[in-house]
Amino acid sequence: MRRLLTLALACGLAVAATAAQAQVNNASITATATVQAPINVAAVANLDFQNVFPGVSKTVAVGDPTAGQWSVAGQTGTPVTLNFTLPANLASGGNLLPIGSWTGNHNTTASPTGTSFTPSGTPTAATLSADPVGQLFVYIGATVTPATNQPGGVYTAAVTLTVLY
C-alpha cells in the first residue's frame, strides 16, 4: 500500500511537472541597424581674388586655380545635400567689399568638371562616389565688386559648407 502511495505521489509530481513545463514557450527575433559612415568635410583651398582694383569687378570661376574647394568623405554612394552659408560682403576692419554671383561645381573626382550649381542656403543634392572612399569635391567661385572709392586693405569673410545625409 505504501509503495502504491509513493508511486502515486511521484506520478502526481511528474504530471504536475510535465504540465508546468508545457505551459512555457519562447522564440527570438533579431534587432538590426546599419550605421552610416560619418561625413567628413575638409577645406582644401580658399577662394582667393588676389589683387582687385577700385571700380573693377573681379570674378573667380570654379575652374580657376584660386577657386574655393572642399573635399567630402562619407558613406559610399550615398545622397547628400550641400548647404552654404555665404557672406554678402568681405570685410577689412569696418570697410566692406560686396561679393555675390556665386557659382559652384561638385564632382566625385578632384576636378571642377562635374555638376554645376548655384551655391546658396537652399540644399543642393549630390551623391558621394561609389568607390570605397565615398568622396565628393566641391568648388566655389564668386564675383567681388569694389567701389570706385574702395579703401585699400585685405578683405576676408568665411564661406561655410555644411553637408548632410
Partner 1 sequence: MRALVICAFALASAIPLPAQGRPLRVRGIRPLTFGVVFPGIPRVVPRTDPVGSGEFDIRGQKNSTVLLQLTLPPSLTGPGGAAMPVTFGPNDAGYSDSGAIGAQIGFDPTVGGSGVLGKNGQGTVFLGGTARPTTGQAAGTYTGTVVLTVTIL
Catalog residues that contact partner 1 under the rule CB under 8 A.
3-4, 7-8, 10-12, 14-15, 18-19, 22-38, 75, 165
C-alpha cell at 37: 559612415
Name which of 25 and 148 has its Cβ closer to partner 1: 25
β-partners of residue 116 are 105
Tell me the closest approach of the beta carbon of residue 62 to partner 1, in angstroms.
Answer: 29
Cβ atoms of 75 and 63 closer than 8 Å: no
Name which of 31 and 158 has its Cβ closer to partner 1: 31
Cβ atoms of 75 and 131 closer than 8 Å: no
Name which of 20 and 158 has its Cβ closer to partner 1: 20
CA torsion, ordered 159, 76, 111, 63, to nearest 10 deg: -30
Cβ atoms of 130 and 159 closer than 8 Å: no
CA distance 144 to 164: 29
Name which of 15 and 147 has its Cβ closer to partner 1: 15
Tell me the closest approach of the beta carbon of residue 21 to partner 1, in angstroms.
Answer: 9
Name which of 38 and 152 has its Cβ closer to partner 1: 38
Tell me the closest approach of the beta carbon of residue 138 to partner 1, in angstroms.
Answer: 20
Tell me the closest approach of the beta carbon of residue 164 to partner 1, in angstroms.
Answer: 9
Tell me the closest approach of the beta carbon of residue 73 to partner 1, in angstroms.
Answer: 12
Cβ atoms of 102 and 142 closer than 8 Å: yes
The total of other beta-carbon atoms located within 10 Å of residue 132's CB is: 7
Measuring CA to CA, which residue among 120, 124, 76 is closest to residue 101?
120
